Amino acid sequence: MQNILALDQGTTSSRAVLVGHDAKILGVAQHEFKQIYPNVGWVEHDPYDILTSQLSSAVEVLGKANIRPRDVIAIGITNQRETTIVWNRDTGKPIYNAIVWQDRRGAPLCEKLTRDGAEDTIRQKTGLLIDPYFSATKISWILDNVEGARAQAEQGKLAFGTVDSWLVWNLTSGKRHITDRTNASRTMLYNIVEDRWDADLLNMLNIPESMMPEVVWSSEIVGQVTTSLGLGSVQIAGIAGDQQSALFGQLCVSPGDAKNTYGTGCFLLQNIGNKFTLSQQRLITTLTCSPQKKLEYALEGSIFVGGAVVQWLRDNMRFFSSSPDVESVAASVKDTDGVVFVPAFTGLGAPHWDPYASGMIIGIQRSTQIGHIARAALESIAFQVADVLQAMNKDTRQPFRELRVDGGAASNDILMQFQADLLQIPVRRPAELETTALGAAYLAGLAVDFWSSTEEIAKVLGGDKLFEPQADRKEMEARQAKWQDAVKRAGGWNRTNA
C-alpha cells in the first residue's frame, strides 16, 4: 500500500508524518534542535541541525511504521517561513547560521526603508508590511556582515533559500534550487501581483537576483530524492510554507474560509480568492497553495509568540517539565487573579507590528501563584488571536461565524474554551491536529494523482470538536480592554537596546 511522506520542518523541531490514502496518519517522528540566541532579539539555527533533524525524522518514521521507501509515492515539504539561509553553490555549505523568522536584527534597515518612503511600493508589490520578520533584511544583513559575502554574491557564487529551498537542495544533491510561491511571497522580494522576483525590490535592498531560487507551484513534481539518503528515489511533489499548508490542510479552499494555527507562533489566515487585496488594518496579503496553478490570496495576521510562551515557562522558568503539563497547572486556579502576560519576547506582530515591544507580566500580587502566571500565559495566546481576528473582520466586513483551529497548542481545552469565550463564536477543532503536515501531504498527493481532488479528501476526514462560548460578553470585553492596556505598556520597551 502506498503512502505520502510529509516533512514538517518547524521552528523548534523537525517532524516526519506518514499519511495513508484515507488521510489517516500512520506514523510520526520528531526531533527537536538547538535554538541559538546570540544577541537581544536575535534568533538563529544551525542549518545542518535543520537538515539532520529532518532526515533523521524521515528515516525514523519509515522504520516505526514498517514502511519501505518504495511504498512512499511522494514527499510533501512544509516549513517554517521567512527563515533565511545563504550557502555557497559550489560547496553547498552555509556561510552563516539560519536567521530565524523571529529574529529582529533587521529593524534598523526596516526603519530606513520606511524613512525613504518605500512602504507603499513594498505593500503594492508584495502585500507585506516593512518588518524584519520577512527574509529580505535578513539576506541584506548576511551580505553586509559576513566577510566576503557580498563579493561572492555579486560573482553568482551564493544561493539564498528559505528552509524549503535548503531541504530540496540537499535532498536532490544540489540539482534543484527552488522555492514555491507561498514561501517566495514571504521574502518581501517577490511580486505577488506580477508573479516574479521584483528587480526594483532587489535593487532597493542591494541583493543580486542570481541568489534567488526558481519559483514553482505548491503542488507539482519538482525533483527526485537522492537514493543515498535512505528515502529511496521518491519524488518531491508538494512544497508550502507552514501556514499556507495548514490552511490547505483544513481544506480552506474557498473565499471566506479561515483557520488559526497555534504553533510556536499563531497565524490566522483567511482565503480571499484570486483578487489581490490590501488590508486596511495592518494585516498582510500572501499567496496560498493552488493545485490549479493559479495565483490565489489570503489575508494573514502573524503572531510571533504563541505556543512558544509555554516552552518559555517550561525551559526558562522550570514551571513544569513537559509542555502539556501547562493545562493542569493552569487548571489549579480558577482565573489569573488579575495577572496579564504580554509575551512580546521578539516584539509584537499583527496588528501592532512593534519590533521593540518587550515581554511583560503585570498584575502580580503577593497572592500570585505559578498557576495564575501559567493561565495568563495561555490566555495571552487567545488575546493575540482576538486582536488579529477583529482586525480581519474590519477588513473583510464579513464577520467570522466560527474559527477553525489546529497546531499543538490547540489540543489544550482550557485555551480553546477561553478562545471561544473571548471571541464569542464557536471554535472548531479537527479530529487530527497535524493539519500543517496533512496540507503538505495533500499537495504532494494531488500532484501524483494519489487523490483526485480536495472533495475526495474531504469525504474521508474525521469528526470535529466544537467549543461554544460560555462566558459573559461584557466580562470578556473588559478582559480584552485590560489586555490592550498591557500591550500599550509593553510597546517600544527595547528600543534603546536595538
- Domain residue limits, the chain: 3-243
Per-residue model confidence (pLDDT) at position 395: 86
User: Among candidates 223, 237, 218, 236, which has minimal Cα distance to 286?
Assistant: 218
Q: Identify the CATH class of 3-243.
A: alpha beta
Does 15 carry a binding-site annotation? Answer: yes
User: Whole-prediction pTM value?
Assistant: 0.84
pLDDT in tens, 204-255: 999 999 999 999 999 999 999 987 777 778 999 999 999 999 999 988 888 8
238 known ligand binder: no
User: Annotated binding residue at 412?
Assistant: yes
At 316-365, the pLDDT tens digits run 999 999 988 999 999 999 999 999 999 999 889 888 989 889 999 999 99
Residue 111 known to bind ligand: no
Per-residue pLDDT at 497: 57
> Pairing between strand 44-45 and 98-99?
antiparallel
Residue ranges of the chain whose pLDDT lies below 50: 498
Residue 349 marked in a binding site: no
- CA separation for the pair 333, 463 (Å, rounded): 31
To the question of whether residue 489 is assigned a binding role by annotation, the answer is no
Determine whether the annotation assigns residue 473 to a binding site: no
408 annotated as ligand-binding:
yes
The 3-state secondary structure of the chain, one letter per residue: CCEEEEEEECCCEEEEEEECCCCCEEEEEEEECCCECCCCCCCEECHHHHHHHHHHHHHHHHHHCCCCHHHEEEEEEEECCCCEEEEECCCCCECCCEECCCCCCCHHHHHHHHHCCCHHHHHHHHCCCCCCCCHHHHHHHHHHHCCCHHHHHHCCCEEEECHHHHHHHHHCCCCCCEEEHHHHCCCCCEECCCCEECHHHHHHCCCCHHHCCEEECCEEEEEECCHHHCCCCCEEEEEEEHHHHHHHHCCCCCCCCEEEEECCCEEEEEEEECCCCCCCCCCEEEECCCCCCCCCEEEEEEECCCCHHHHHHHHCCCCCCCHHHHHHHHCCCCCCCCCEEECCECEECCCCCECCCCCEEECCCCCCCHHHHHHHHHHHHHHHHHHHHHHHHHHHCCCCCCEEEECHHHHCHHHHHHHHHHHCCCEEEECCCCHHHHHHHHHHHHHCCCCCCHHHHHHHCCCEEEECCCCCHHHHHHHHHHHHHHHHHHCCCCHHHC
Q: How far is CA 372 from the centre of its chain?
A: 28
Q: Is 11 annotated as a binding residue?
A: yes
The answer to the question of whether 307 is labelled as a binding residue is yes
Residue 226 assigned to a binding site: no
Closest to 71 measured CA to CA, from 8, 4, 26: 4
Are the C-beta atoms of 421 and 221 separated by less than 8 Å? no
pLDDT at 52: 95
Q: Is 494 exposed, middle or buried, given 0-12, 13-18 or 19+ CB atoms closer than 10 A?
A: buried
Is 2 annotated as a binding-site member? Answer: no
For residue 121, say whether it is annotated as part of any ligand binding site.
no
Predicted pLDDT of residue 257:
84
**Is 133 labelled as part of a ligand binding site?**
yes
Torsion sign, CA atoms 317, 318, 323, 324: negative
